[in-house]
Structure formats: C-alpha cells, structure tokens
Structure 1
Amino acid sequence: MTPEQFLSDFHEVAQIGATPNQGVDRQAATPEDRLTREWFRAFAERRGWEVRVDGIGNQFAIVDFHPDAAGDTPCVLLGSHLDSQPLGGRFDGAYGVIAGLHAAARLEDRVRSGDARPAVNLAVVNWFNEEGGRFAPSIMGSSVFAGLMDEAEMLAVRDLAGVSVREALEAIGYLGTDARPTVASYAEVHIEQGRILERESTQLGAVDYSWYTQKLDIEVLGEQSHTGATAMADRHDALVAASQVILKVHDVTARYEAEALVSSVGQLTLEPNSPIVVARRVHLVADLRAADQAIVADARATLLEQIDAIARERDVKINVRDFDVRDNQHYPESGIRLAEEVAAELGVSARRIRTMAGHDSVAMNRIAPTVMMFVPSVDGVSHCEREFTRDEDLVTGVAVLTEIGWRLLQGALEPSGVAGVGGAAAGAGAAR
C-alpha cells in the first residue's frame, strides 16, 4: 500500500467524530468510537484478516501466515488506540493504529510475493480506553491484556453519568468474548506530544524510558448551605477548599528544578452544583509526573501535609487516595537499537527520547519485547484540537514501523524471560 493510500485513510478516519476546529471527539465506547471500530473491522475484512474482540473491548486484526497450524501461533503485534480525549486531536493514538494496519498490509504483501514466511503471525490492535477521558484509569485495555488490571473491576468502572464500561461496550456492540492472541513482540508509533523532535529537526524518536506517574484521587467534603442566607463564618465550603488544593498541586512544581516535575488537576466535579448552594462535595484528580520517582514521592508528601492544613483551616474533611501509580518503564536496549538501525538504513534522522505521557506500550513492555517510537508534533501540542503532525512525518513513521515489523517477524527481539508473553487472562493481576 502506498503512502498516498495511508494518508487518505488517515484523513478519512479523522472525519469520524470531527470537531469544528479540526480535532476529534471519540471518547471510549461512544457511538463515534464504534464508527472507528467499524472502519478498523472493514479494513481488516477487505484483506481477509480475522477480527477478534476480547472481554475488555480490545480489537485485533490477525494476519495468519500459518492457517493450518494447531493452536494459537504467537503474533508480532502493532497498534495503538482509536479513542480520543473530549475535543482531542486527530493524531493521538489513531495514527498508530492506522500506521499499524498499513504496515501489516505491506508486510503481508511482502510475504505473499515470495519472501520467507515468518515463524509467527502478525496482528494489529486497537486498544480500548487508552485515554481514560470517559473511564478512569487510562491505558485500560492494554493493562487488562497484560494482567496489570483486573478485567471484572475495569468492566465495573463508571463514567460521570453512571454508565459502566460493561454497559457502554454492550451498547456499541463491542463487549467481546474472543480469545486474546499470544504476543511475541510489540511495536507502536505515536506522535511525540512534546517539542523535542521538532525543535531539533529530528524525524524519529526511539523511546528509551517512561516517566514515573502518581495520581491522587481527592474528595473534599463540606456542608451544603444557602449562598445568600448562611453567614460566612458558618460555611464549610468544599469548593473553596478544593480551589486551594488545586493551587497547591500547581505550585508544588516550583520546589524542584524547572520541568523536573509536571502537575495538574484535569478533572473536577462538585455537588450539588447549584448557583445558590454552597458546595458540599468536590471530587478532583491530581496528576504528578517526573523522571525521578523520588521527586514524585517528595511532592506527594508535601501535598498531603498542605491538604491536611487546608482541611483544618476550612473546617472540612479531605480524603486522599493514591490512584493509577505507574513506575518508570525502561524499554529493551535491543529494541531501541533496532529502531536506530532501521532509521539509519532508511535515511531517517533519529535520537533517543523519553516519554512523559503514558502509552499502551508501557503496559505491553511488561510482558513482551517492545519498541516505542515517536514522530514530531508541531509546537508540542496534544490533547487538543490544535494537535498537528505533518503528512511527511506520518509517512516516515509508517515506513520505519513497517521495516521494524519485518525484523520482528524474523525474530529480531526474542522474548527474554519475560513472564506472561501470551495475552493475559482476565484477573491475572491488579493495578497499582
């Protein structure tokens, strides 16, 4: 398949759930998400590939080079996710899935035209709910696959409207029962979501490690009262206390060197959310990330002290729970070198790079040899409608992914004592 065909498909998918400012809104298990899944299925079925959907909604397209083999032949797996943030960008995630489909089609053509048949199969995956915008935590589908999260617990997670993951997947027809493929190795290409590659005029980033992530689930409990009739001295305003917490989460970064720690509060809900009622409850999630786990631990400890002081000052109760903690993940040196070697052979400039954001590859790296790559993001902007990557950079990433996929099919990264290289069964582990 040609670069022009890839770009045509990419820009076609970008019309699903398109927003007025050239972004997309395709949150997990919504009607728009269903349409992208149908597009994925149609692409695979046109090629004669088997399509599977597992118990958490992960979608697989399998290129079977060994149809007569007994049992489940392991797969080299390529992919990412098709869901988006609310008013998100059209490149995040979707690029990696469509690149995976086109790389797989090129690799299949290569084998069918006479190149040596690999000992393993090839598959492309669309992971469920990587974004976590509708259902928390993020990276859900790949984490269940890898045994890091419990399937039953994740199916019971509810969105802000009270709809569970199970109910949402059933509603769009994508709560599957198919067997999960066994994975020999995994590769993912993604937009950087940062400024490094563009700033340095580098075409490819070979990801070597991920940042440490710590989220805090914070519940502020005050007392509901009348905004007009209640004396100021008698109020226990949960929203005022929550606003102080939000500022502390922002300000804690100043304790460390510039950009050593990033933090934010991205979600906040309040009750009863009436213009004439003092808030009784506010729920928010704080996100702390750094390359150094010790910095995150210190920031967390500082915030807990400050939050306790705010609760006493405002005469409210504040409950804090650790949530979605992810340690540093270091990608295999052999995979990093493979990406560098392929880039050099294709005349593509490359450098090693870390990921501050989480990706499905972070989960997959725990159970299979994994290669993660970035292509440049314009202005380093992501999770918004202005997110953008140039066509030529998208095409370059597909070319590199295709060649890496070929090397993986030839056994370039053999599993090296990694437990659970097969698709993990439901309930194989729990999230931290």
Structure 2
Amino acid sequence: MSVLHQAFLRDFRQMSRNGGLESGGVERQAATTADGLNRQWFAGWLTARGATVHYDAIGNQFGLFELRPGAPYVMVGSHLDSQPRAGRFDGAYGVLAGASVCAELYRAASSGETELTYNLCVVNWFNEEGCRFKPSMMGSLVHTGKLELDAALAITDVSGVSVWDALDALGQRGTDELPEAAAYVEIHIEQGKSMEENGHMIGLVHATWGARKYEFQVLGEQSHTGATLIKDRKDALLGASLLIAAARRVALEFGVVTSCGELLIEPNSPVAVAREARLLIDLRSPDAETLDAADAAFGESVTRAASDANVEIRTLNRHAWDVKEYAPEGVALAERVVRELGLPYTRIMTLAGHDSTNVKDVLPTIMLFIPSHKGITHNEYEFTSDQDMLAGLDMLTATLTRVAQGELDG
C-alpha cells in the first residue's frame, strides 16, 4: 500500500469521528456545530499541507494550492455536510480524496517530480444535502449564478435560523473572491447498487437524470378531530396525503422515481385537524419527455387534491434540472485513464443530484463514481470498502493530473 493510500485511510477515519455516531455514520447537517468543527478540522488539514483556505459569501470552503501565480485553477471536491443520521462516505469521501490528491500533486510539482499547467483547488460546497436549509446544492447553485446570494442567505431552517446567521455563528461566511477556474472534477459514491452488482469499480458519469422538486404549503382550518363533521373539515394533512399518493400513482404510470422527503404539520396534535402542512415532493427520470409528461400529470393531481380535501395548495418553491450530458471530452479522458489503470468500469448516469450537476453548466466537468455496498445511502450504515475507495483515489489522481496538465484544453 502506497504512502498516499495509507495517509488517506488514516485521515478518512479521523475525519469520520467529527460528528460521528456509534454506528459508524455521521450527523453533520449544514452549519451545525458538528459541521463547523469538521470544517475547522479540514481547514487545519489543508493549511498543514501548503494550501491557503478561503470562504466565499455563501460559506463554500476552498483550499488553494498555488503553483503558478496568475494561472487558473482546476477544482476538485464535493461536500462535507450530511443528512440526519447519515453515512460517512456521501460527499466526504470526495472532498478528502480530492484534497489528498491535490496535496500530493502540489508536493510532486513543487519538488520537480511532475509539471502542471494549472493551480489546484479543493472545494467543500456548502449545504449540498439541503436537509437543514432548502434547496439542496445551495453552495454550488450560488457559485454558478443559479441562485441569488441574498435569497440564499435569507433562507431559514424550521427553527427560524437563517443561513446568514448560521454561517456567522461558525465564523465561516467569507468575502473572498476566488480566481478563475479552468475545469472541475468530482468523485462520489454511486448511491445505488448497479456498480457493485455488475463488478464495476469505477463509474464514468456521462449524464444526469432530470428532476422536478416541489415545496408545497397546504392550508386548511384547525378544528376538533372528534367534534367536526367530515363535510365541514379542511384537513391540511389530508391534502398533503393526497399529493403524496398522487405522486406515487404518477410514478407507477410513467415509470419515474418519486418521493416525499419532508412533511411538517401544524399543530401536529392528536385531537386537532391540521391547519397547515408543508411537504417536499420530487419526480426524477432519465428521459426528458417522460419527466415532462409525468410532471404535467402530477400538476393536474395537485388541483384535484386541493378540491378533494377542501384546502388551498400553494407551490412555495420549484427546483428543477433537466436531463443533461457531462462534457463528452471529459468522459473520454476519464475512459482513457481507467483503461490504462485496468480497472473494471462502466458509463453511468447519476440519479442523485450533485454539485457537479451545477458546475458542469459553467465549466468542463468530470464526474466519477465508486461503488456503494447494496446501494445503501443517506443512512448511517452506508458503506464503501477500502479497496474501492483506494481504486477511486488512484483514478482521481491520474485524472486530475491530466486535467491539471491541460489535457481538457480546447
């Protein structure tokens, strides 16, 4: 096992203790104390290896390894925040793998062992998960101009704490303007089981599924669960339930994926009809026409749900992305690398959203996957083997080296 391999596994175990659970998982929701402490740990890790650490106005954390003053940077990264009671690999693997490769290439280039055209930057995107503050992928949305900074900073969690205040409490809402970037690379666990089942160690992401994500507010009227006649009820929870059931029917009819990931009820009392419900529903598909048709059918169901439950349904937010390809030249570069390494691989679409989903629209982007055991993810028992993590590290090293040497140029 190489020195880089040994150091990575040691550092990954140490990082996983930050916000760690007895089960081996982690809980590091965005801008919580646990997330802040982990970000501080990571800043120390970067500084010790020659990087300068910067924060932009939405709290994205950047480690800059400068080799050529004035030259653009090749970025690599993912996210360190987590879902509640989540796995230790989702996002965090990609950040530390990217940082480890940057530090090694910086060392090698500084000593003359290799020559790079570009500087190197590792990024920890803020609030990728979107569980405390919505929407998900917030840091990369702001960075790429898809979400206004002021709007993002004003978003609050269920306790009324804003992104602005949460970042200020950590001292990690910065003002740094970052230098020009030339390309972006991200490596991540698959969050599915196809690679493990088919014996593939590396996934070359060539496109992303499309998604339609909705935040609904259902407004009813609070009343007594026993004393109010059915015909007189305006039950917000019933309206929300009809939305959830409608999304499932649409999924079965059109062959798309759907879920309700959050449901909040007021007053949430055993003897009161709900006056308000808030919920998030998403639809996802690898086919654009199918997704549009399913989305239209679901829209009709929203109107029927409001009528059937005698409530008002408002769409508070709609967050969508289309079926889009990653840069073909990046996929081709990664395929040359994986063939030279002799690792079993596949071309694959990503079902989940990632920060690369946003960044690919403004920079040449390469997205890589490694396997997830049994596809378990957003779960404290999420697992990827050391062997697969290290194969991914080798793949990332060779890929990032070529990108930093300018192989994607032109």
What TM-score results when the alignment is normalised by the length of structure 2?
A: 0.97
The CA deviation at 1:322 is: 5.4
Q: Which moved more, 1:222-231 or 1:390-399?
A: 222-231
1:5 is matched with which residue?
7
The CA deviation at 1:242 is: 1.3
2:281 is matched with which residue?
286
Aligned partner of 1:209 among 199, 207, 217 = 207
Residue 183 (structure 2) pairs with residue 185 (structure 1): yes
Letter in 2 for 1:36: N
Residue 388 (structure 2) pairs with residue 393 (structure 1): yes
Letter in 2 for 1:179: E
SS in 1 for 2:102: helix
1:266-281 counterparts in 2 under 5 A? 266-281=261-276
1:18-417 counterparts in 2 under 5 A? 18-66=20-68, 69=69, 72-256=70-254, 260-320=255-315, 323-414=318-409
Q: Which moved more, 1:54-63 or 1:108-117?
A: 108-117
Asked if the contact 1:197–1:376 (Cα under 8 Å) also holds between the matched residues in 2, the reply is: yes
The CA deviation at 1:19 is: 2.0
1:53-77: CA deviations, max 9, x gaps?
11110111111112xx3xx431011
Structure 1 consecutive aligned stretches of length 4 or more whose deviation exceeds 4 Å: none
The CA deviation at 1:125 is: 0.6
1:428 is matched with which residue?
none
Q: CA separation in 2, counterparts of 1:338 and 1:36?
A: 33
Q: CA separation in 2, counterparts of 1:391 and 1:336?
A: 25
SS in 1 for 2:45: helix
Q: CA separation in 1, counterparts of 2:71 and 2:126?
A: 23
Q: CA separation in 2, counterparts of 1:305 and 1:369?
A: 38
SS in 1 for 2:71: coil
The CA deviation at 1:321 is: 5.0
Asked if the contact 1:228–1:276 (Cα under 8 Å) also holds between the matched residues in 2, the reply is: yes
Identical pairs, percent: 44
1:426 is matched with which residue?
none
Q: CA separation in 2, counterparts of 1:216 and 1:196?
A: 28
Count of aligned pairs between the two proteins: 408
Q: CA separation in 2, counterparts of 1:300 and 1:11?
A: 42
Unaligned residue ranges in structure 2 (runs of 5+)? none
The CA deviation at 1:196 is: 1.2
SS in 2 for 1:2: helix
Q: CA separation in 2, counterparts of 1:393 and 1:93?
A: 15
Unaligned residue ranges in structure 1 (runs of 5+)? 417-432
SS in 1 for 2:378: coil
Q: CA separation in 1, counterparts of 2:126 and 2:293?
A: 33
Letter in 1 for 2:28: R
Q: CA separation in 1, counterparts of 2:301 and 2:115?
A: 61
SS in 1 for 2:82: coil
CA RMSD between the two structures? 1.3
The CA deviation at 1:79 is: 0.7
Q: CA separation in 2, counterparts of 1:210 and 1:330?
A: 6
Q: Which moved more, 1:21-30 or 1:302-311?
A: 302-311
Asked if the contact 2:67–2:110 (Cα under 8 Å) also holds between the matched residues in 1, the reply is: no
Q: Which moved more, 1:49-58 or 1:314-323?
A: 314-323
1:366-388: CA deviations, max 9, x gaps?
11111100000100111111211
Q: CA separation in 1, counterparts of 2:119 and 2:380?
A: 37
Asked if the contact 1:205–1:373 (Cα under 8 Å) also holds between the matched residues in 2, the reply is: yes
SS in 1 for 2:325: coil
Q: CA separation in 2, counterparts of 1:58 and 1:27?
A: 14
Asked if the contact 1:340–1:351 (Cα under 8 Å) also holds between the matched residues in 2, the reply is: no
1:184-241: CA deviations, max 9, x gaps?
1110110000111101101100000001110122221111112232233321111122
Q: CA separation in 1, counterparts of 2:159 and 2:317?
A: 23
